[in-house]
Structure 1
Amino acid sequence: MPPSPSDPTPLKPTASAEPHPTPPGHPTSHPRPQHRPQTLTALRLAGIAGILTSVAWLVGDILLLGKPMVSPHQFPILDAYDGMARDSLAAMLPASTTRLAWGALLGVLTGPLYLYACRHFRHALLPQPRRLALPPFLLLTAGYALAPFAHGSFFYWGQAAKAVHESGADAAALVTLPGDLATVLFIPYAVLLVLWGVGSVWMAVLVLRGGTALPRWMCIANPLVCTLIGTLVTKLWPGAVGTALQGAALSVANLLLFSLTTAVFWKKTG
């Protein structure tokens, strides 16, 4: 018999009266971030900035290092170098000053846009706690902040080597000048790669754990993995295209990286 309106006995709540709370640690306990229109616009603009800047740097790399390498018979100064330094100088020595200048300036003048594009790294890790998401963002952004200096320094390095070769001088101070410039140039490159390496591993681990704005398979969308892919592309591409891309591994990597993140964010938020 159903209770009368005056019956003080409360009715038992139905199953749909209150939803069951999501247990801590459950994959759905961290909802995907809700996107406001202004946030979506800024995020898409950041992706476009990253793609366009990567293209500009790719062209700059081709201008700086995309000529066929010359031999020490043509430029004896190459005998003083080996490895990456020798290959880089062998590509820059036959290039004109104008070509080298534009190759450097395309990277330096567009460099600030990379910092804007780094919004993708911060957004990718939402809604992870700040203590986990902020460090990789700062590490990766610091690496991009160093990149324009390293890229632009190739102009001065190549010009110094050309001047020493054309002067025919064998004074020790002049002959060692390009080597000194190369040492200073490679220091920020080494720091940049360390920052990217640590930040990339940190970011990849968070994405693989789940609960971020990116699907788990996007753990590959970081500078470290994309640089490895970019290096393979530039090493294995045959013919004239391979020669043009021989010094563009980082730019190919960034073009791949920001194309991936932009495509995923655009699709998810559209």
Structure 2
Amino acid sequence: MSEAPSPTAVPAREPTTSPSSPSPRNRLLTLRLAGITGIAASVAWLVGDILLLGKPMGSADQYPILSAYEGTARDSLAAMLPASTTRLAWGALLGVLTGPLYLLACRHYRQALLPQPRRLALPPYLLLTAGYALAPFAHGSFFYWGQAAKAVHASGAHSEALTTLPGDLATVLFIPYAVLLALWVIGSVWLAVLVLRGGTALPRWMCVANPLVCTLLGTAVTELWPGAVGTALQGAALSVGNLILFSLTTLVFWKKAG
């Protein structure tokens, strides 16, 4: 009786890597670059905020136009009216020109939620990134708002149309800020919940590493810091918060990757 033919051995196939898939080294480089750009953007915006809103506030006696405003709008105008046009211009441009760096820095949010399913990880990443995409418009608009108020004051005119012009500009300015903050709140809560659940690239305590929590920290820093430094930082809560945020995520990811 003849023997049954032995099955032909099939060599094991080695796993292949898609040419489009980044190597671990490239992913590490991208992640570190994202952290550095986030810190750089935060510093640039912080300097811009100081130039825009870091002057000691003028009073209604010096600038009668201030009597037509109250709250945050009044405080912002009171800080911009004593500033020169050059100072306001550089303050606005520093934020606008470095705004794209924040979009690269948002890579941290995508990396933070790996290996969560795409349906869970993508929405907070897109929400937070959209908020950063709106920020340069809002920041740069302070220049036009401040310049309009300065022009009205310098004219000495008492026209109702001129007096209300800075207020009209402020209304348009605060709309993207409101949308930006709403996106950050929703995206931050979503991000924090996923990190708290575990199974992400971040330890659970890093649920605080989001724009909502860090903006609250930035607000506390700018309001509680005394003296001349506190005056310089009086309009820089968001930038201080972002500096805290990206410094923290960069440190954690750098150590984790290393």
Report the TM-score, using the length of structure 2 for normalisation: 0.91
For 1:71 and 1:99, how far apart are their aligned partners in 2?
A: 20
Q: 1:208 aligns with which of 183, 191, 196?
A: 196
Deviation at 1:173, TM superposition (A): 1.4
C-alpha RMSD over aligned residues: 0.9
Note if 1:261 corresponds to 2:249: yes
Classify the secondary structure of the residue corresponding to 1:176.
Answer: helix
Note if 1:121 corresponds to 2:99: no
Deviation sequence 1:145-187 (CA, Å, 0-9, x none): 0000000000000000000000011112111100000000000
Deviation sequence 1:78-135 (CA, Å, 0-9, x none): 0000000000000000000000000000000000010000000001000000000000
C-alpha distance 35-256 of structure 1, shift in aligned 2 (>3 A): farther
For 1:243 and 1:173, how far apart are their aligned partners in 2?
A: 32
Q: Which residue of 2 aligns with 1:6?
A: none
Note if 1:159 corresponds to 2:140: no
1:109 aligned partner, one-letter code: L
1:250 aligned partner, one-letter code: L
For 1:247 and 1:171, how far apart are their aligned partners in 2?
A: 29
| Equivalence map 1:76-225=2 (5 Å) | 76-225=64-213
Could you tell me which runs of 5 or more consecutive residues in structure 2 were left unpaired when the two chains were aligned.
1-21
Q: 2:29 aligns with which of 33, 36, 41?
A: 41
2:128 aligned partner, one-letter code: L
1:40–1:269 contact (8 Å) kept in structure 2 = yes
For 2:127 and 2:257, how far apart are their aligned partners in 1?
A: 26
Q: Which residue of 2 aligns with 1:62?
A: 50
For 1:246 and 1:174, how far apart are their aligned partners in 2?
A: 27
Count residues in correspondence: 237
Identical-residue share of aligned pairs (%) = 84
Larger of the two Rg values belongs to structure: 1
Displaced runs of 4+ in structure 1, greater than 2 A?
A: none
Deviation at 1:35, TM superposition (A): 7.3
Q: Which residue of 2 aligns with 1:245?
A: 233
For 2:235 and 2:23, how far apart are their aligned partners in 1?
A: 38
Deviation sequence 1:4-47 (CA, Å, 0-9, x none): xxxxxxxxxxxxxxxxxxxxxxxxxxxxxx97000000000000
For 1:134 and 1:173, how far apart are their aligned partners in 2?
A: 46
Report the TM-score, using the length of structure 1 for normalisation: 0.87
For 1:249 and 1:122, how far apart are their aligned partners in 2?
A: 24
Could you tell me which runs of 5 or more consecutive residues in structure 1 were left unpaired when the two chains were aligned.
1-33
1:184 aligned partner, one-letter code: V
1:35–1:269 contact (8 Å) kept in structure 2 = no
